[in-house]
Amino acid sequence: MNIEEKASKEPMIEFIDVHKWFGEFHVLQGIDLSVDRQERIVICGPSGSGKSTLIRCINRLEGHQRGRIVVDGIELTNNIKNIEKIRAEVGMVFQHFNLFPHLTIVENLSLGPIWVRRIPKKEAEETAMYYLEKVHIAEQARKYPGQLSGGQQQRVAIARSLCMNPKVMLFDEPTSALDPEMIKEVLDVMIELAQEGMTMIVVTHEMGFARSVAHRVLFMDFGKIVEGNTPEEFFKNPQHERTRLFLSQILH
Amino acid sequence: MKQAVPAGELKPPVTHIGIIGWTKTNLFDGVFNSILTLVTLFFLWKVVPPLFRWAFLDSAWHTTGQACREAAGACWSIISINYRFILFGFYPYEEQWRPLLAMLILFGLLFYSRNREHWKKSLAYAWIIGLFTMGLLMTGGILGLPPVESTQWGGLPLTLLLAVFGLTAAYPLGVMLALGRRSRMTGVKVLCVLYIELIRGVPLISLLFMSSIIFPLFLPEGVTFNKILRAQVAIILFTAAYIAEVIRGGLQGMARGQYEAAESMGLNYYQTMRLVILPQALKIVIPPTVSILISAFKDTSLVVIIALFDLLKTTQSVLSNPEWMGFSREAYVFVAILYFLGCFSMSNYSRRLEKELSKGD
C-alpha cells in the first residue's frame, strides 16, 4: 500500500471516546465517530443534545476533556500551531453567518487566503470572485454584509470557507436563522457542494436535505450518538424509541 | 351641498407651515414652553447687547495698558500687544518663526490626514518626516539655526507638543493594555489590571509631581532627564489607562461569533485582533475615546505646576506685568477660544471619522 492510498483510507475525522463538560454539565458523553474522506454526515437531535458542541470540537472552538480527536492525521491537543493548521483545513459555516461587517464581501473572502495561506492579494481576490460566482452572488462583491439578505449572507459565508480550499466543511445549523423563503437558496448551494465530493458534516433539521445528500444520518440525544444509519434506513426504520419520537415531532 | 376641493389644491393650514408654523411648534408649543421662550428672550435681551458693547463697541484694540484703563469696554490690546509672548513664551524673539512653521506643518498634516483616501503609506512617511522637521525647527543647532534649549520652549507649541505626542503615544499603549487586561495569560493580565487601577487611582497632578520631583531622586548623581519629556511621559501613562478601559468596553461589546469566525479560518491571535476585532471595537468606542482625548488635551495645562510655560502659564505671566494687571477677562477669553478651537476640531474630526467608517452599516 503506498502512502497516498494510505492517506485516502485513513479517516478524515476520528472521535475516540470523547467527553466534554461545561462546568458540571456532561455535554458529550463518550462520542465514537469516524468520518471518511468525501463522506457526508447529517447530525440531528433535540436542542441541548450536544450536536453543535460535537462539530465545534472538530476545529477546537471547544476543547474536549477526555478521549482523542484526530483530524486529517493530526491529533487535537493544546498545541496552538496544530490547531491553526487544522482550522485552515476545516471550513465552518455558522448559524448567524458571522461575516465581518467592516469588510466588503470580497474582502471577507480574501482575508483568510491572504493572511493564513499567504496568497498574493490579487490572486486571492480572483479566487474570491470564483467562489462568489459559484454561490451565485458575484454581483454583490463590493457591498458590505449589512447590505445583503440573510440567505445571501449565508451563501457568502459558505464561499468564504471554500476560499480556504478546505478538506472538510462543517455546517452548524446553517439555515436556522433564515427566513423560510431563503432556506432553499442556501440548501441548493450546499447540495452543489455535496455533488462535487466535499466532505461535509452538517448539523441541521432539514430532513429533505439529509435524505438527498447524506451518506449517514446521526441522531444525538443527551450527549450521545443514539443511532446512525443511511438516510433510507434512518427514516424508514428508526431503531430507538427516542429517535422515533424526535422524527415524529419534526416530520409532523 | 359642499363643493369638494380637489386634493392637489388643498394646502396645509397657514399655522402649520413657514415661519408661523415653525415658531408655533418650536417656541410656543403649550403654556410651559411659551413661558420658557419668553424668559429666555428676556435674558438674551439683558445679556447680549451689553456684552456686544463691551466686546466690540467700547473696546480698545491696539493701545497701551494705560489707554486701556480709560476705555469702558474690553481691552483686547493685552492680546494684540503681547500675543507673541502668549503664543511662544520665552522662545527667542527672532527665532519665533520656527515654532510657527512647526505648528503650520502640524496643522497641514492634520488637515491632510482628515481625508481617508489619503491614508496610505506615503502619509505615514509624511508624518515621520514632518515630526522630525518640527523637532529640528524647535531645537535647532544645525543648518545655521541657532540652538534653543527646551527650557525656553513655551506657549502654544508646548501645549500642542504635549497634546499631540501624548495622545498619539497613549492610544496604542491603551490598546495594548486593554488587550492585556483580557489576556488569558495570568501574568500579563495582573500587570495590566494593576497598572490601570493604580494610574486611575491617582490624579494627574500627583503623577506630574512624581515625575518632576520624586523620579529624579532615583537617578544617579548628575543624570537628568528633560523636564518636558518627564511631563510628557506622565501624561502618556495617565491617558493610556483611561483609553484602555474605554477600549476594553468596546472589546466586550464584540459578538463571540466574530472571534469564532476569524479563528475557525486559521487566523492567529494577533491577526484576529488586528484584522477583525480591533477595527470594529475601536470604531464603536470612538465617541468615548474622543472625550478622553479632549479632556487630556485640556489637562496638559496642569503642567504649570511643574513650572512649564504652556499656553495658560504664558498668559498668566502677561497678567502679572503691572501694565496689564487686571485685564484677566480678556486674556482668559482669548485662551479659552484657542482651547475651544482645539477641542472643537477634535470632536468634529471624530464625527467625520465615524461617518467614514460606518459606511458598511
Of the listed ranges A36-45, A108-117, B143-152, B228-237, the one predicted with least confidence: B143-152
With contacts defined as CB-CB under 8 Å, which chain B residues touch A101?
A: 280, 360-361
Tell me the CB-side half-sphere exposure of residue B202, using CA atoms within 13 A. Answer: 16
Q: What is the pLDDT of residue B360?
A: 58
| Whether the predicted pLDDT of B313 surpasses 90 | no
Q: CA separation (Å) from B190 to B116, B187, B197, B266?
A: 37, 5, 11, 28
How far is B358 from chain A, CA to nearest CA, in Å?
A: 8
Long-range contacts of A235-238 (CB under 8 A, 24+ apart): A235/A207, A235/A211
What does the pLDDT look like over B26-77, one tens digit per residue? 888 888 888 999 999 999 999 998 888 888 877 778 777 777 777 777 788 7
Residues in B closer than 8 angstroms to A59, CB to CB, are: 264
* A166/B contact by beta carbon, under 8 A: no
pLDDT computed for residue B96 by the predictor: 86
User: pLDDT tens for residues A126-174?
Assistant: 999 999 999 999 999 999 999 999 999 999 999 999 999 999 999 999 9
Give the nearest chain B residue to A109 (CA atoms): B265
Interface check B271 vs A, CB under 8 A: yes
Question: CA-CA distance, A131 to A165, in Å (whole number)?
Answer: 10
Give me chain A's average pLDDT, please. 91
For B266-301, the pLDDT digits (tens) are 999 999 999 999 999 998 898 898 888 888 888 888
On the question of pLDDT at B8 being above 70, the answer is no
Question: Which pLDDT tens digit goes with each residue over A13-26?
Answer: 999 999 999 999 99
Output the CATH code of domain B156-361.
1.10.3720.10
- SS3 assignment for A9-33: HCCCEEEEEEEEEECCEEEEEEEEE
- Structure confidence by residue, pLDDT tens digits, B191-243: 999 999 999 999 999 988 888 888 777 777 777 778 888 888 899 999 999 99
Q: Quick one: pLDDT at residue B361?
A: 60
Kindly state whether A174 is in contact with chain B, defined as any CB-CB distance less than 8 angstroms: no
Close Cβ partners of A55 (under 8 Å, ≥ 6 residues apart): A43, A92, A170, A172, A201, A203
Pick from A62-76, A107-121, A225-239, B113-127: least confident: B113-127
Minimal Cα distance from A110: which residue of B?
Answer: B265
**Closest CB from B264, B267, B361 relative to A101:** B361
At B115 the pLDDT is 76
Which pLDDT value is given to residue B231? 87
B260–A146 CB contact, under 8 Å:
no
Q: What is the CA radius of gyration of chain B?
A: 27
Q: Minimum mean pLDDT among A30-34, A38-42, A73-77, B316-320: which range? A: B316-320
> Could you give the percent of chain B with pLDDT greater than 70?
96
Residues of B in contact with A85 (CB under 8 A): 266
Contact A150, A179 (CB under 8 A): yes
Which residues of chain B from 241 to 270 reach within 8 Å of chain A, CB to CB?
255, 257-258, 260-268
> How many of the other CB atoms lie within 10 Å of CB of A151?
21
Looking at the predicted structure, is the pLDDT value of residue B5 above 70?
Answer: no
